[in-house]
Structure 1
């Protein structure tokens, strides 16, 4: 169940970053409120996952997959450039996350 919680926390992390972008430096009320609520939700689900997953592994997976999701969505939604260097970085992060998961930490 801890991997489900970590997956939910990762989705919250991605939405959190997109909401933070939409808040324009916390100058837009509803986007700012949503940013805080979503951030709290992500932290809550991360804390549930960390009951059984090692904190270093759980946090690294959460931020790593969140970063990959944010880069890919930003390229899609905001037309940010996705060149070979970003794709290489994404591949390295994914390999690292898989490596961490294979350590069996918290299984």
Structure 2
């Protein structure tokens, strides 16, 4: 179940970054409120996952997959440039996450 909690926390992490972007530096009320609520939700589900995962592994997977999701959504939704260097970085993060998962946690 801890992997399910971590997956949910990762989705919240991605939504958190997107809503923080929409808040324009916390100058827009409702995107700011949404950012804070989503951030709390992500932290809650991460804390549930960390009941069974080592904090270093859980946090690294959470932020790594969140970063990959944000880069991919940024290129799809916001038309941000996705060049070979970003793609290579994404691949390295994914390999790292797989390595952490295979570490026997």
TM range (shorter): over 0.9
- 1:86 maps to 86
Q: Deviations over 1:9-51 (max 9, x none)?
A: 0000000000000000000000000000000000000000000
C-alpha distance in structure 1 between counterparts of 2:93 and 2:80, whole Å: 19
Q: CA deviation at 1:68?
A: 0.0
1:87 to partner: Cα distance: 0.2
What stretches of structure 2 of length at least 5 have no aligned partner?
A: none
Mapped partners of 2:81, 2:15: distance in 1: 20
Mapping 1:28-107, distance limit 5 Å: 28-105=28-105
Q: Distance in 2 between matches of 1:94 and 1:42?
A: 20
Q: TM-score, normalised by structure 2?
A: 1.00
Which residue matches 2:27?
Answer: 27
Deviation at 1:59, TM superposition (A): 0.1
Q: Runs of 5+ in structure 1 lacking a partner? A: none
Aligned residues: 105
TM-score scaled by structure 1? 0.98
The 3-state SS of whatever aligns with 1:66 is helix
Q: Alpha-carbon deviations, 1:74-96, whole Å to 9, x = none? A: 00010000000000000000000
Give the SS at the match of 1:88: helix
Aligned partners of 1:55, 1:103: CA distance in 2, in Å?
A: 14
Question: Which 4+ runs in 1 deviate beyond 4 A?
Answer: none
